Structure 1
């Protein structure tokens, strides 16, 4: 697959590969849509990540130290420092592999490139594509209001968008299967266009050309909420696996 290692000296890596997580995916699934972690606090834990906003008001994408809100109408805007999240994953992006995309690649082909290089499926991996996309299919859940519905019901109202011929940034994480419920097992990706006007949670894509960079993350830190919603939530429902697959695919 012609992936090559990036020089550690070129990247000037000085930060540990730590993944910070606010809350649990299973809590979000159960309707815990409000958290106390602000965007400013997220930035203390990384310059790269994804998640959502309080009241499930759109998708979160962070890269190069910037955090954007991808809203239910398909638009994007820069997030303010005081906005809060009920669920997010952040890290300082330290890629160790670079793969030049010189021909069209489907989502599955990009994942295959990473899978063939990553030594173990038991480690987290952060990935990023900067490139020209002929197609990116996205969705974004609209803002929710109390009494909150479980996420399986909330996503029934989600609009889907088909972004065509767009240059942009796609970022994501590969999460081990044993972490299902704590996070989203498998690949979880968000996209924003170059103009920072549109994007969302990625359902599928084809990238024509660009650069894929990625690297593993060795440590996970989780901040658990202490509010009533979280403490009373059912965090291990019988249909956990099916429910996550339904809301994320």
Structure 2
């Protein structure tokens, strides 16, 4: 369904160190042509756009192999029902205000594509972890950060309502890839210059839980879930 989002596992499971992959890229490609996620053992970021899947690691981008496995992903089929053209410099906060002005409600989901010229993009790509896996808040303390300036490319992401905190990332969650498909990562900060925004409302969520013993045994009842997500995002 074009109005549906498919999600593998939950954000709170990642926070607890549930990093073992349970779905392949090949299987995930049957769930959508647009999305984001991470890889086995938290080995970098995944970005999917126009049906092509990329592995963003150490600031670089390569194509994903069909048998690569992921512990967490968010996917949809993207049509871009609403289009907005911006021909001015906007900070991330100002960009988000533009997005919100074109949303009918903040109680539903949105798939969002931003493509064009960016003045700066600050990204990170989480590093591969070894067992026993540390919680993601510890991983974030030493995550490598990369800055791109005066670059063209595409941001792929989602808006998730606040009430879904723990299942997903509340608010905006974006990954970026440059026009040459050679660099990118999870977006920490961005300044856009001349971009086209495509926006699509999503009103259905298919949540596919991780059916492993590690997930079943994890302590996912967190009181400060919003604070922990902000620390890693």
Of residues 5, 11, 31, the one that matches 1:25 is: 11
Q: CA RMSD in A?
A: 0.9
Of residues 63, 79, 100, the one that matches 1:78 is: 63
Please show how residues 159-174 of structure 1 align to structure 2 within 5 Å. 159-174=144-159
Please show how residues 188-227 of structure 1 align to structure 2 within 5 Å. 188-227=173-212
> In the alignment, does 2:31 pair up with 1:42?
no
Runs of 4+ in 1 over 3 A off after TM superposition: none
Partner SS for 1:161: strand
Q: Tell me, yes or no, if the aligned pair for 2:38 and 2:70 is still in contact at 8 Å.
A: yes
Of residues 195, 218, 221, the one that matches 1:233 is: 218
TM (norm. structure 2) is 0.98
Aligned equivalent of 1:57: 43
Aligned equivalent of 2:110: 125
Partner SS for 2:146: strand
Aligned partners of 1:225, 1:219: CA distance in 2, in Å? 19
Aligned equivalent of 2:133: 148
Partner SS for 2:141: helix
Shift in Å, 1:94: 2.2
Q: Which runs of 5+ in 1 are unaligned?
A: 1-14
Q: Tell me, yes or no, if the aligned pair for 2:9 and 2:71 is still in contact at 8 Å.
A: yes
> In the alignment, does 2:215 pair up with 1:242?
no
Aligned partners of 1:157, 1:103: CA distance in 2, in Å? 34
Shift in Å, 1:26: 0.4
Instruction: State the aligned residue count.
Output: 233
Deviations 1:28-64 (A, max 9, x none): 1000001211111111010000110010000111010
Q: Tell me, yes or no, if the aligned pair for 1:17 and 1:94 is still in contact at 8 Å.
A: no
Q: Which runs of 5+ in 2 are unaligned?
A: none
Shift in Å, 1:21: 0.3
Shift in Å, 1:145: 0.7
Aligned partners of 2:108, 2:162: CA distance in 1, in Å? 10
TM (norm. structure 1) is 0.91
Aligned partners of 1:62, 1:30: CA distance in 2, in Å? 25
